[in-house]
Amino acid sequence: MKATIKDVAKLAGVSFKTVSRVINNESNVKAETLEKVQHAINTLNYQPNQAARNLAAVQSYAIGYVYDNPNAYYIIDMQKGLLEACHERNYELLIYPCDASKSNIAHTLLGMISRSKLAGLVLSPPLSEMPEVLAQIAESGVPFVGVVSGDAPDIPQGRWVCIDDRLAAERIVDHLIGLGHKRIGFLSGDHSHRSTLEREQGYLDALAKHGLANDQALRFNGQYAFNSGVAGMKTLLSLPTPPTAVFACNDEIASGALFHARLHGLNVPQQLAIAGFENSPFSLQTWPPITTAAQPTSDIAKQAGDLLISTIQERRTHKDREKPKTPRYFCPELIIRDSTGK
């Protein structure tokens, strides 16, 4: 028979309410008691009944991840990191894909939260960067964590995990300039994602820092897609003076650019250097492999999940007022590969 919470309490010599506090990672448990309860849990191989927890208590032990993003690799890594956070803290995870362009998206999300009895929400771009949606979620009182590019939004009710895409992009372009390139193209992603704007600004920062001209003709407005990289590269190579290097907003775009460059008969990196962003599998599925910035999406998601669950528990113990709402920051790191030379 499976061990019950009462079995754990009996073996540890404590009340079952104390065991419940340990399972829920509440802070008001003495270290000695925590050790005894954890020993009993391990000895009995006790697994909390998640369904019973949600049905038997007013408090919910499930969080949701809401996304609208065509990049399957990004979504898989986000889920992986969030699941790790949930498993460590005995929470469940509900995955909810949606269409962020719908006019009633905030109403849809709030309805889903209510029906699913979620304790909180993690949002990734573009939903985490939509002020009206965030304002309505904040007004509902549901705890949420947003993963955003750049600085944290000015919404005190939210908690934030921020990605310094701008600095990472600047370092990529610094690398290209350091190799001697003076005409560097930029292939953008969707402008509904703030990451596009931040990475473009990093590109412009590097040009300005090194005294290089900002030529609008070298910038192609596209989407986060392979075909957009193909189209962008075709446009840039048709210029009277094509670029000698290209920085693409992500690795999928960069892969499309590399594909068209090779069809065009160019040797990479001897005649054209290409760099991407994110360090997704696309960056290693090409020849040559693509220089990129490593964005640790699983780690970012794990941090977002931990932050959300901590926020939920702090609110339940009324300790959230004591905690500073300091965002957590990540900066993707430059990885130099053969697509730019070394």
pLDDT score of 56: 42
pLDDT score of 27: 58
Q: What is the mean pLDDT of residues 164-168?
A: 97
What is the CATH code of the structural domain delimited by 59-163+297-331?
Answer: 3.40.50.2300
Task: Please state, in angstroms and as integers, the Cα–Cα distance from residue 15 to each residue in 6, 28, 36, 43, 155, following that order.
Answer: 8, 14, 12, 17, 41
Q: What is the SS3 assignment for 47-82? A: CCCHHHHHHHCCCCCEEEEEECCCCHHHHHHHHHHH
Residue 55 has pLDDT above 60, yes or no: no
pLDDT score of 128: 93
In terms of C-beta distances under 8 Å and separation of at least 24 residues, what long-range contacts does 135-143 make, across chains too? Answer: 136/106, 136/107, 136/110, 137/106, 137/109, 137/110, 140/110, 140/113, 142/110, 142/113, 142/118, 143/119, 143/308, 143/311, 143/312, 143/315
DSSP 8-state secondary structure symbol assigned to residue 304: H
Q: 42 versus 254: which is more confidently predicted?
A: 254
Q: Kindly report which listed range (5-9, 191-195, 196-200) carries the lowest average pLDDT score.
A: 5-9
pLDDT score of 48: 67
- Band (pLDDT 50/70/90 cuts) for residue 69 is confident
Residue 330 has pLDDT above 90, yes or no: yes
Strand pairing report for 62-67 and 92-97: parallel
CATH of 5-48, one of 1.10.3720.10, 3.40.50.150, 1.10.260.40, 3.40.50.720: 1.10.260.40
pLDDT score of 63: 94
pLDDT score of 181: 97
Mind listing the pLDDT tens digit for each residue in 26-54? 656 788 888 888 888 888 888 765 544 54
Q: CA dihedral in degrees (81, 86, 92, 98; nearest 10)?
A: -30
pLDDT score of 323: 58
Which residues, listed in sequence order, are joined to residue 278 by a DSSP beta bridge?
Answer: 294
pLDDT score of 22: 78
pLDDT score of 301: 97
Beta carbons of 198 and 149 less than 8 angstroms apart: yes
Cα 44-47-50 angle, rounded to 5 deg: 155
Residue 329 gets the label, from left (phi > 0), alpha (psi -120 to 50) or beta, of: beta
Residue 61 has pLDDT above 60, yes or no: yes
Q: 162 versus 1: which is more confidently predicted?
A: 162
59-163+297-331 and 5-48 share a CATH fold:
no
What is the CATH code of the structural domain delimited by 165-295?
Answer: 3.40.50.2300
Residue 140 has pLDDT above 90, yes or no: no
DSSP 8-state secondary structure symbol assigned to residue 14: S
pLDDT score of 28: 66
Residue 132 has pLDDT above 70, yes or no: yes
The residue among 67, 132, 131 whose CA lies nearest residue 93 is 67
Domain boundaries, the chain: 5-48, 59-163+297-331, 165-295
Mind listing the pLDDT tens digit for each residue in 75-91? 999 999 999 999 999 89
Which residues, listed in sequence order, are joined to residue 159 by a DSSP beta bridge?
Answer: 145
pLDDT score of 52: 47
Mind listing the pLDDT tens digit for each residue in 270-287? 999 999 999 999 999 999
pLDDT score of 57: 45
Cα 286-290-293 angle, rounded to 5 deg: 140
